[in-house]
Amino acid sequence: MRNMMKTTLATLMSLALLPTAATAYTVGAPFPGTVTATTYYSSGSFHGAVDLASGSGCGYWGVETAVQASLSWNVTIRTTSRVCYGNGSGNQNEVKHTFANGYTFRQWHFLYVAATSKDKTCNRCQVGDEGGTGNVTGPHTHIQYDKSGTNSTSWYSGTVKGEYLDRDEKIGTVG
């Protein structure tokens, strides 16, 4: 009996040491639009994120959280004004989720609407309308995955500038 208990405990301990598989989440387009920037801007400077513009202009309805999973989102509103063509770096509205691996998924530049006033747990919920808060030249949504100030670019490796994406069409995978 004692040997059986030792064997059972040893087996359980060895299972505890096995690495667990990380959960991967699909990132879908938060609205239909064209990819206007990815790893680099047209100028050649590093961007390290995906920018998506609807082409419908400022105030296009329905910017959703892009990760297709029920997650807790921290919503930060830095301006409630209708800002379409920038109001300075650091003044962008932001929704973000921090994963267990230390990476943070962020979306910027949306316009404030009543749905953006509180933090929430949701799957693909609306956070605002397409806007241009922060340091921008026009309305779009900036989608970024970073850790300790360093942007990851591998999560969207198949997405290219100029590509048109339907709402929910896959941009990449995070988690």
**In which region does residue 66 sit, left (phi positive, over 0), alpha (psi from -120 to 50) or beta (all else)?**
alpha
At residue 106, the pLDDT reads 97
Closest CA to 96 of 55, 48, 51, 147: 147
Could you count the other beta carbons within 10 Å of the beta carbon of residue 7? 10
Instruction: Write down the pTM of the prediction.
Output: 0.86
Q: What is the CATH number of domain 23-174?
A: 2.70.70
Q: What is the pLDDT along the chain (175 residues), one digit of tens a residue?
A: 545 544 444 444 444 444 445 789 999 999 999 999 999 998 999 999 999 999 999 999 889 999 999 999 999 999 999 999 999 999 999 999 999 999 999 999 999 998 787 788 999 999 999 999 999 999 999 999 999 999 999 999 999 999 999 999 999 999 9
Query: What is the C-alpha separation between 10 and 73, in angstroms, rounded?
Result: 40
At residue 115, the pLDDT reads 76
- Work out whether strand 126-128 and strand 120-122 pair parallel, antiparallel, or are unpaired: unpaired
150 three-state secondary structure: strand
Tokens 């301006």 belong to 79
